[in-house]
Amino acid sequence: MTLKTKIVCTIGPASWDPEVMRQMIENGMNVARVNGAFADTDELDMVRALVRNVSDSASLMVDVKGPEIRLNKFDEPIPLKVGETFVIGNTSRDKIYPANYKDVYTYVKPGQRIVIGDGDVEFVVEKIIDDQMYCTVQYGEVLKPGKAMNLPNCDYTTDILTEKDKENLQHAIKTGWEFVSASFVQDADSARKIKEFIGDAPMKLIAKIENQAGIDNIDEILEVVDGVMIARGGLGVELGLEKVPYIQKLLIDKCNRLGKIVITATQMLESMTTLPRPTRAEVNDVATAVFQGTDAVMLSAESSAGKFPIGAVAMLHSISTQSEDHVVPQIIQSDIPYAETADALTKAIAAMCMSNDKISKVVIVSKTGTTPRLLARHRIKQDIFAYVSNSFYRNTLMLTKGITQAFVFDGVTRDSDFSRDAAVSLLLEQGKRDNVLQSGETVLIVGKTPMSGEEYFPNIFEIVTVS
């Protein structure tokens, strides 16, 4: 079955083997993500080479950590006991300390909660002596190295991009990565600062929403960014686990109405980090995200450090395709100021496809990919094939649900016949060469000329029987 929901995989030691990477992509991985908390530019180059040796169209995403605090990478996991005292220091002279943020102890007071990772361990600060935080273990059995250190409701400030973030991001821009996912985007100003750093590069910005400020300011954030990642680990720590399901639905709904990308992340198949099969609850979790309309589901430790990275991808593929078979198409009512014409056009396409079951496929020619992305929100049953103007737009569509495949298309130039009939014939021949179209099937051909009037392909909306 054709997978409509996309799969994002965090790449790490478990997936550095070329054969593992090949099988992950063959089993459905669409986007390779690198966690910037650990990676340097050499690792970015290594992952890019691994992916590109298998696929030209899989997307690359670099994660920048910004204000996220991380523990140092101490040698071995440390056993914990509830009620015992545990000391978190401040510098490399200490066994345990915040590795990427100076003087954290100056921001906290006795009573401050410190939550490690996605809530695996929790401390409460009892006292601060010199630069040492003396804590009581509230929850957890093992403290693992390099984990995120969350300070719920603590007012600490830092730049949205660290120097290491800037180095990684600049390198990713230079080497053609399609996406950056940014941690702790809490308002539109933070998002604009990252956009300013990206400059004229076409890279797309995905904001990780992981605390209350991000939720409170989501409407203004969505005006700036290209999509969001629902960072359910951080949200669970900051807001409480019981609030995460509603927040997930809220963010998916908002993104679908606005035509923005939305990724559902954190512990989708966490048990498959160590076990070959997921739990029933995890299967239900993935299916729920698909039913709600997420563009993508994401693997973290499962694919970066787990024992079964290929199996985890294959399982996500299986759960998603089975769930998609029960999705009911519907017209998403929206107001998209940045693409009013494309929004209206795609609603008409969706209505046509929902009322005419003879249409087997939709083939869209769109210079930048906006039109197929907006059409995909309506979750039509037909496969959507997109023809766009360059490989960047092709690859970014691999993070949009419902796009079966995208291709680079030269378009129709002034030197060629710009008539509708000639343009359709040209596209049909291209579709046959790409093994998209077969003789005898009925397809809907859509062309969308940019509002500037630049000639790329005529405005076309017609049902065609392939000869």
What are phi and psi for residue 356, nearest 5 degrees?
A: -130, 95
Q: Using CB atoms within 10 A of its CB, is residue 209 exposed (0-12), middle (13-18) or buried (19+)?
A: buried
CA dist., res. 462 & res. 373, Å (int): 19
Q: What separation in angstroms does the CA of 58 have from each of 97, 124, 261?
A: 37, 43, 16
CA-atom Rg of the chain in angstroms: 23
Amino acid (one-letter) located at 449 = T
Residues 6+ apart with CB under 8 A from 343: 259, 334, 335, 336, 374
For 438-452, letters b (16+ CB in 10 Å) and e give eeeeebbbbbbbeee
> Tokens for 182?
């940014």
Domains located in the chain, CATH noted: 6-66+160-324 (3.20.20.60), 78-150 (2.40.33.10), 337-465 (3.40.1380.20)
- With vertex at residue 423, the alpha carbon angle to CA 421 and CA 424, rounded to the nearest 5 degrees, is 65
Q: Could you read off the pLDDT of 66-86 as tens digits, one per residue?
A: 877 889 999 999 999 999 999
Cβ neighbours, 10 Å, residue 83: 8
> Tokens for 369?
């990919």
Counting DSSP H helices and E strands in the chain, the numbers are 15, 20
- Region of 114 (left: φ > 0; alpha: ψ -120 to 50; beta: rest) is beta
Residue 102 confidence (pLDDT): 82
Residue 419 confidence (pLDDT): 76
> Tokens for 372?
């197929």
Q: What separation in angstroms does the CA of 443 have from each of 26, 85, 362?
A: 27, 67, 6
Under 8 Å between Cβ of 398 and 385 = no
CA dist., res. 396 & res. 358, Å (int): 29
**149-150/113-116 β-pairing:** antiparallel
CA dist., res. 349 & res. 365, Å (int): 13
Amino acid (one-letter) located at 126 = E
**pTM of the predicted model as reported, rounded to 2 decimal places:** 0.89
What string of pLDDT tens digits covers the 467 residues of the chain?
Answer: 578 999 999 999 999 999 999 999 999 999 999 998 778 999 999 999 999 999 999 999 999 988 778 899 999 999 999 999 999 999 999 999 998 888 899 999 999 999 998 888 999 999 999 999 999 999 999 999 988 898 888 877 667 898 889 999 999 999 999 999 999 899 999 999 999 999 999 999 999 999 889 999 999 999 999 999 999 998 998 888 999 999 999 999 999 999 999 999 999 999 999 999 999 999 999 999 999 999 999 999 999 999 999 999 999 999 999 999 999 999 998 878 888 888 999 999 999 999 998 999 999 999 999 999 999 999 999 999 999 999 999 999 999 999 999 999 987 765 655 678 888 888 999 999 999 999 999 999 998 766 555 677 888 899 999 98
HSE-CB for 267 with a 13 A CA cutoff:
16
Under 8 Å between Cβ of 65 and 406 = no
Q: Using CB atoms within 10 A of its CB, is residue 465 exposed (0-12), middle (13-18) or buried (19+)?
A: exposed
SS3 content of the chain, % helix, strand, coil (to 5): 35, 25, 40
Q: Could you read off the pLDDT of 31-53 as tens digits, one per residue?
A: 999 998 778 999 999 999 999 99
Nearest Cα neighbor of 101 from 72, 76, 128 is 72
